Every structure is written in C-alpha cells, then in structure tokens.
C-alpha cells in the first residue's frame, strides 16, 4: 500500500474528527501529508494515517501537543510501552481523585439530608468522623479572625482536602468549669496526610441546627439545655467535649441568612 493514498475527508471520517482538525495537526507538525496537489488537496500514506490514529488517541487522554510530539518521535517499542505506562499511572491518579470527589459529594449530601429529615432536632449517631487539622487554628482578634498557620507549613499536601475544608469549633469544659474554645480547619472526608486527624465519634448526640447564630445569640445555650434533657431522659453520659461544624449558609427569599450547623456531643 506504499503507493496508495488516503484523502483528508476519508481519514477524518475514519477517526471521527473534522477535516479542520486534520489540517490543524498538519499545521502543528504532528502529522503532515506526504502529498499535496496543486489544488491543495492533501493525501496521506498508511503510516501517516496510523500516526494520526495515535494523535487522536492521545488527545482523548488530554495530552498536550508537546507530549504527543515526543511520543511520535519514538522509534523503539519499549519507549512507546513505557510512555503508555506513565499515562496509565496518570489516569489511575485521576480516577483516585474523581472517587474522592464523588465520596465528598455523597457525604456532604448525607449531612444536608439530616437537616431536611430532622431540622433543629437531636439525633443519636454512631461511627461518624470529623477530620481536623489542629495546626490550622483560627485566632480571634478585635475585628478579624486570623489563621495561625498555613497548609504548607503544617505539611498538608492534599489539594482537594484543603480546598473543600470547613470551619469547625471545638469546646472543652475545664476543671474550673470554664470552657476552652478553639476553631480549626476541618473536613468531612479523610486524607492520606497525617496532619488531618480523624476524630471518630463511636456514639454521639448531634443537633441539626438551622438558623442564624449571630442573631440567635443564645442558640448554643439552648442546644446545651436540650442535650442535657435528652441525656437525662435516656440515661446517657456526655464527655467534656463538643464540636460545632459549619456546613453551609444559604439566604432565603427575604435575604435572611440560614446557617446549617452540626453540633456534636460525644458520649462516654
């Protein structure tokens, strides 16, 4: 077939691309036709058609032009195979990241559904987790809230985890009956990074708060009283800690802000 040529339109149909795309690959020096007639019609050899097939395949893998040119310059099958192995590794990492994003959305929806099912009510939960980066603590100033560190300084190298972080507040009752309060960066999914600590609630009470804590300034006191009453009724014992997780804030038709907050009380 060395003296047989394929027309631009036919190879475009064969690879399910436009003739403009075939011409673009010519312009980019990826696959150039061996024969261009006076009427500017382009004709391709079998080798060029096969190379074009590899170009379209690699473009489907979202490889840049520079990487495709590198691949087309290979003349050793071992190099081609090694190149493909690298792409398999890259795609495997993409799948891993996609699975993490799907998990995040599924877990987030589970949290949101709790507000639909039981708004401003107490629920007993088991084997639930909150993931906290304690090095990323917020410090309260006079008019501002300042972050004590950075993800880079804390060694958190999980980009998706950091970009989906939530604000959580930690409370712990002291011996003098005062309450220690800290605010951290947190998340509802785990991370391979050691800086993201898994706070596992084997058994806990969760209050699904819906409202505006800045207008309802006694909201936490009211929740505490309801939790204590629930524990007394059901003979449950609270630990000295609790966690407040700020999940989402939405404005209604009247432009009033509604905060959706989980307040979690671990049980002993």
Q: φ, ψ for residue 160 (rounded to 5)?
A: -65, -40
pLDDT at position 15 is 94
Name the residue with higher pLDDT: 64 or 157. 64
pLDDT at position 125 is 97
Distance of alpha carbon 87 from alpha carbon 67, whole angstroms: 11
pLDDT at position 141 is 67
Alpha helices in the chain (DSSP H): 8-14, 19-27, 46-60, 65-72, 77-117, 151-154, 159-163, 219-234
Rounded percentage of the chain residues whose pLDDT exceeds 90:
77
- In the numeric block, the tokens 């630990």 are attached to 239
Delineate the domains of the chain, giving CATH numbers in brackets. Answer: 6-73 (1.10.1660.10), 99-266 (3.20.80)
Kindly state the DSSP code that residue 145 receives in the 8-state scheme.
E
Give the angle 84-86-89 at the CA atoms, nearest 5°. Answer: 115
Q: Kindly report the average pLDDT of the chain as a whole number.
A: 92
DSSP string, 28-86: TTSS--SEE-TT--EEE-HHHHHHHHHHHHHHHTT--HHHHHHHHT---HHHHHHHHHH
pLDDT tens per residue, range 133-160 = 988 888 876 678 888 878 887 877 888 9
Q: Are 184 and 137 in contact (CB under 8 A)?
A: yes
Q: Does 193 score more than 60 pLDDT? A: yes
Q: φ, ψ for residue 228 (rounded to 5)?
A: -65, -40
Most confident of 72-76, 111-115, 154-158, 212-216: 111-115
Identify the CA nearest to 209 among candidates 197, 222, 199: 222
pTM over 0.85: no
Mean pLDDT of 72-87: 94
- Residues whose CB is less than 8 angstroms from the CB of residue 227 and which lie 6 or more positions away in sequence, other chains included: 122, 205, 207, 238, 265
- Residues whose CB is less than 8 angstroms from the CB of residue 53 and which lie 6 or more positions away in sequence, other chains included: 15
Identify the CA nearest to 248 among candidates 257, 256, 239: 257
Tokens at 86, concatenated = 């690298």
Identify the CA nearest to 162 among candidates 184, 129, 140: 184
Pairing verdict, β 145-147 and 122-140: antiparallel
Mean pLDDT of 86-111: 95
Q: Does 1 score more than 80 pLDDT? A: no
Q: Does 268 score more than 80 pLDDT? A: yes
């Amino acid at each position: 077939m060395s003296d047989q040529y394929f027309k631009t339109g036919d190879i475009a149909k064969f690879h399910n691309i436009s003739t403009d795309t075939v011409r673009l690959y010519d312009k980019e020096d990826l696959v150039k036709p061996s024969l261009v007639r006076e009427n500017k019609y382009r004709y391709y050899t079998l080798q060029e058609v096969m190379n074009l097939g590899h170009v379209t395949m690699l473009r489907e893998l979202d490889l840049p032009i520079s990487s495709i040119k590198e691949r087309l310059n290979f003349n050793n099958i071992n190099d081609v195979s090694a190149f493909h192995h690298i792409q398999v590794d890259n795609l495997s990492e993409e799948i891993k990241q996609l699975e993490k994003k799907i998990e995040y959305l599924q877990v987030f929806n589970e949290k949101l559904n709790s507000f639909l099912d039981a708004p401003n009510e107490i629920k007993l939960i088991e084997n639930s987790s909150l993931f906290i980066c304690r090095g990323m603590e917020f410090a309260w100033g006079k008019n501002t809230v300042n972050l004590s560190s950075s993800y880079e300084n804390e060694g958190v190298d999980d980009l998706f985890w950091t970009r989906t972080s939530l604000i959580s507040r930690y409370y712990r009752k002291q011996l003098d009956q005062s309450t220690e309060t800290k605010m951290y960066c947190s998340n509802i999914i785990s991370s391979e990074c050691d800086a993201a600590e898994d706070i596992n609630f084997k058994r806990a009470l969760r209050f699904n708060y819906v409202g505006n804590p800045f207008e309802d300034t006694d909201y936490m006191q009211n929740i505490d009283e309801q939790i204590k009453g629930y524990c007394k009724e059901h003979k449950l014992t609270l630990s000295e800690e609790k966690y407040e997780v700020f999940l989402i804030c939405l404005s209604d038709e009247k432009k009033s802000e509604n905060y959706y907050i989980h307040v979690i009380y671990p049980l002993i």
